[in-house]
Amino acid sequence: MGVSALVKKVLAESGINPERFNLQWASAAEAPRFVKLITEFTVAIKRLGPLGQAEGLDPATVKTKIANGLNLVSNRKLRVSFGNVTKTIRKDGTFTQEFITSLVDEKLSTGITAGLMEEGILTSLKAKNQTSSATLANELGISTEQVEKILAAFNKQGRVVQAGDIWSLA
């Protein structure tokens, strides 16, 4: 249930309808339940339409957003934070989807938002080789100040370099 909450949160923050993901459990002895789950999910996906179309995103943007989300959930920092959330869930002993979703929202929202901004900046720098912070801000729909803060942190880590107002990967 925790993984489901995390994936749905990342999809939502990426601008992709989180209803496109569903994780349910059914044993081999629950064939009727399995059929029902698959049928319901198929109906829901058909209702949503093709990936990206319902969200108003072109295929290249969808591909980029999904890649950024995948990179984010592969990030050690987010995985450690998610591990801490699961420890809290086990310690509390409340295993309802509502509680888990609220805990993921409370504990991971800021990290997910920041992580997606970071991934967006890195993706853009890989595609362009070099660009300005203003161009990055415009492309990503975030403030120039946010972009410059992230780039400054990346610069300290040796991940990017600056030449005047132009940034590129190190």
pLDDT tens per residue, range 123-134: 999 998 899 999
Q: Which of 3, 159, 24, 157 is nearest to 79 (CA)?
A: 3
Instruction: Please provide the average confidence, as pLDDT, over all residues in the chain.
Output: 94
User: What is the structure's pLDDT at 158?
Assistant: 96
Residue with tokens 């058909």: 46
Q: Which of 63, 75, 57, 161 is nearest to 118 (CA)?
A: 75
The H or E element containing residue 77 is helix 76-92
Dist. CA 53–CA 153, nearest whole Å: 35
CA 104, 110, 114, 120 torsion-angle sign: positive
| Average pLDDT for 5-32 | 94
End-to-end CA distance of the chain: 39
> What are the chain's domains?
2-119 (no CATH), 129-170 (1.10.10.10)
If one counts every other C-beta atom within 10 angstroms of the C-beta of residue 149, the result is: 14
Query: Taking each helix axis from N to C terminus, what angle separates 133-140 and 144-156, rounded to the nearest 10 degrees?
Result: 120
Q: What's the pLDDT tens digit per position in 105-128?
A: 999 999 999 999 999 999 999 998
User: What is the structure's pLDDT at 28?
Assistant: 85
Reported in sequence order, the residue ranges of the chain that DSSP labels E, i.e. its strands, are 130-132, 160-163, 166-169
How confident is residue 8, by pLDDT bands cut at 50, 70 and 90? very high
Dist. CA 103–CA 107, nearest whole Å: 6
Dist. CA 158–CA 86, nearest whole Å: 32
In this predicted structure, the answer to whether residue 1 has a pLDDT above a threshold of 90 is no
Q: What's the pLDDT tens digit per position in 42-74?
A: 999 999 999 999 899 999 999 999 999 999 999
Q: What is the pTM of this model?
A: 0.87
